[in-house]
Amino acid sequence: MSPSPTDSATPPDTPPPDTPPSDKSPPNTASTDRDPAPRAASHAGSKGVVILGGLSAIAQATARLYAAEGARIMLVGRNADRLSQVAADLRARGAARSEVSVLDLAAAAPQARDHLTGWSDSLGGIDHIHLAYGVLGEGPAPDTLPDLASLLDVNFTSAALWSEAAVDHLATRGRGALVVIGSVAGDRGRQSNYAYGAAKGGLALFVQGLAHRVSGSGVRVALVKPGFVDTPMTDRMKKGGPLWATPDAVARTLRRAADRGGPIHYAPWFWRFIMLAIRATPALVFHRTKL
């Protein structure tokens, strides 16, 4: 199974942006574009893409796919220097624009609508929004309740707020796609990481509801559930073997999901069947495992 990021059977969903070009950017948006020419007009055929959590390894692999298509990309994350480096690399790979916005996405979630409007003005319209940030935490659940609250906020509450705002933003144009990264950990509560899993499971229900809400409207909403992926997030785990995927492989699923919609994609595909078996295992049996 080799999903193509530029599947020719899928019609492009980027007509000339209907948001007038503007010089107005949110205060935390740093343009790193090499071409200061009028924004929307000069890149009318390319996609406007916002990546929330642009420094994640999976997000960077996804951004490289868009760069090769000549997209206009807004990377959002916490580290200004690293964002600038990634943005420069994306321009070298063919991105028509690459800009960065320095934000703590958990703290900024209540202002998500304003940020999206600013990024849309800056990019000349948004076609695809990817939500790719998250924290795994250590062990089953954080030791302190404030740390547990923070883990749930990053992985569920703030992600739900950004998802809601993203869909509302796309709905004003009646087209575009939101792709959210969930996790197979959200498919069943397990002793090894139930706090993270619960947040991802809740997010999956939220995104499923959003997909239902906008079905038939021209806006697509998809949830991608990776299994084990070799990224900094999993550096404490022993890696290797057939269950481990690369960020590039997951990125291809994300890119395809943006074109085709959802509601749910497993990455790689075989996790659908693994999780089916895990969900179907009776608690009497499951509770004897250390999963």
Contact residues: ligand NAP, CB under 6 A: 53, 55-58, 77-79, 104-106, 132-135, 154, 181, 183, 226, 228-229, 231-234
Contact criterion met (CB below 8 Å) for 83 and 100: yes
Instruction: Report which DSSP code applies to 243.
Output: T
Cis ω for the linkage preceding 268 (within 30 of 0): yes
Residue nearest to ligand NAP (CB): 134
**129 in helix, strand or coil?**
strand
Q: Which one, 51 or 167, has the nearer CB to ligand NAP?
A: 51
Helix axes 158-173, 112-123, angle to 10 degrees: 50
Q: Which one, 96 or 100, has the nearer CB to ligand NAP?
A: 100
Q: Which one, 42 or 85, has the nearer CB to ligand NAP?
A: 85
**58 in helix, strand or coil?**
helix
Instruction: For the CB of residue 249, give the shortest distance to ligand NAP in the complex, in Å.
Output: 12
Phi, psi (deg, nearest 5) at residue 50: -110, 130
Instruction: For the CB of residue 169, give the shortest distance to ligand NAP in the complex, in Å.
Output: 19
Instruction: For the CB of residue 153, give the shortest distance to ligand NAP in the complex, in Å.
Output: 8
Q: Which one, 58 or 198, has the nearer CB to ligand NAP?
A: 58
Whether 196 is a known active-site residue: answer yes
Instruction: For the CB of residue 80, give the shortest distance to ligand NAP in the complex, in Å.
Output: 10
First to last CA, the chain: 28
- Residues with Cβ within 8 Å of 243's Cβ and at least 6 positions away in sequence, in order, are 227, 228
- Marked catalytic residue, from 66, 133, 194, 196: 196
Catalytic residue set: 196
